[in-house]
Structure 1
């Protein structure tokens, strides 16, 4: 386990306390009950918030880059051992570093992006300049060179190795990029029409050529009724129940090699409800069964 208390990829304070909230919700105890030998690496040190620091419409660029470079090195180190890296955010910009570090250990890393958003913006297309809306684009090698360079010369992931699940808030530029690169997306429309079981079956088949799969789960992928403690809630989201089904089915594939759970904001939460949902989903993704 590794916490990354970064809140500089977006505007709302509080998401830096996400790792603490997830730990408080009993994640270690839950995993140990499942038989895992858990090593908690603690939290990465995150730079202080620089006042109005920005470059080319990228807010807090240097601090986000510094954090993700450190994270990439740490994830590279963890992935070198016989371990399942489990990362707690922090905002979703931390996926830049986690994917950059993990991808070095796979020829064809698959990525499941469980999120209300595509996170496929760049400085030129972002309405806000918030880097938490850019990590998937960066991981494809698109964006500011200081961000894309964290992965090295090659992108961390190829477009044909990505599946986005739960999208319901995509900017026009993101839609164009998805079409240009033929990225596989299951919007809420597809989830509702197909059902989560079929969505995961198709996802598994689509990523069958991958030698590892990273699950990047943003809690705003869930409906705000089930996960109120997030900075960018979008109504009409994935339910708690179908999210458990998704995690259980992904575990059954035997392909998941790493994961991260991000955007838990205790300040916006209701009695740690969102962190508790995250821990429950982590349990399902890592093998917890009802019977």
Structure 2
């Protein structure tokens, strides 16, 4: 990554992809935690493009074909895809704040306008590779990776552009520790590279990140997107998430991962998702997000 970037922030106050309200306030919480000042102090030029418009109020249209709030998620992701595509066209670095993880459908759709061979690091406790056929809940935030790979409901798969937006061989999942049976089968079938907590515990984060970066570099990727769910970290550090899973990545391991991504020079876009201030303690989860953003964009201790 070059030293000084033109970063454009996009907020996605989306909470229709899951069942616990409050995650729509995530973008505001991350801004309040000082994201812009942190990036500017490193030397980057930052433009906050504001939030995608997402209707608020009581939920309607809960269930369609086993999917909750399908139309609301589709509309928000379509708007996000258009915003992200226009930013990449203008040579801006898109940095997206969420919001629940269903928004990644929109981010990746927008990035597909510019990148034909995009690499994706999915930093998450979950694989998010369910479809309506395998999902135990019908929550779309458990499906964005499957949708982006071209699997699932056609209304989601065909957002912005028809068909898949990324390739399974270009995806690396890091931090997985809660994977549904249907997801396990799909991961094996597609041959997706996954580093579970077992590999992180056994080999250490340095080894895992080196392997992930080498793996993606060998694929001749033309860009690299980081999709970071704050529940990838252990809930000790990030209590303000909707689906916490104990035994996660540590605070320091996560900073190291971000620093190594920065050093790789490969990153072209990023999103930080699932910050829920209602479930949080004194905005601590958003503070962690902003700290990780600092490391990802080149903040140094000395």
Query: What corresponds to 2:72 in structure 1?
Result: 63
Q: 1:204 Cα deviation (Å)? A: 0.6
Aligned residues between the structures: 291
Match of 2:129 among 82, 96, 120: 120
- Name structure 1 gaps, 5 residues minimum: none
Native 8 Å contact 1:111 1:162 kept in 2? yes
State the partner residue of 2:105. Answer: 96
Q: What displacement does 1:202 show?
A: 0.4
Please list the CA deviations of residues 183-242 of structure 1 after superposition, one character each: whole Å capped at 9, or x if unmatched.
000000011111000101000111002111000000000000000000000000000000
CA distance in 2, matches of 1:152, 1:37: 30
Asked if residue 269 in structure 1 is aligned to residue 276 in structure 2, the reply is no
Partner deviation per Cα, 1:24-58 (whole Å, 9 max, x = no partner): 00000000001111000011100235335221110
TM-score, normalization by structure 1: 0.99
Counterpart Cα distance in 1 of 2:72 and 2:62: 9
Does structure 1 residue 167 correspond to structure 2 residue 176? yes
Deviations 1:149-197 (A, max 9, x none): 0152341100000000000000010000000000000000011111000
- Which whole-Å CA distance do the structure 2 matches of 1:151 and 1:207 have between them? 25
Aligned to 1:248: 259
Please give the alpha-carbon distance, in whole angstroms, between the structure 1 residues aligned to 2:147 and 2:81.
14
- Asked if the contact 2:82/2:160 (under 8 Å) is kept, the reply is no
The corresponding residue for 2:5 is: none
1:194 match = 203
Q: Residue 156 of structure 1 is aligned with which of 135, 156, 165? A: 165
- Structure 2 gap segments, 5+ residues each: 1-8
Q: How does 1:198-217 map to 2 (within 5 A)?
A: 198-208=207-217, 209-217=220-228
Match of 1:41 among 36, 43, 49: 49
Per the TM alignment, residue 244 of structure 1 is displaced from its structure 2 partner at its CA by 0.1
Which stretches of structure 1, 4 residues or longer, exceed 2 Å deviation after superposition? 47-53
Residue 22 (structure 2) aligned to one of 8, 14, 17: 14
1:104-145 Cα offsets, whole Å, 9 max, x none, are 211210000000000000001100000000000000000000
Root-mean-square deviation over aligned CA pairs: 0.8
> Aligned to 1:164, what secondary structure does the other structure show?
strand
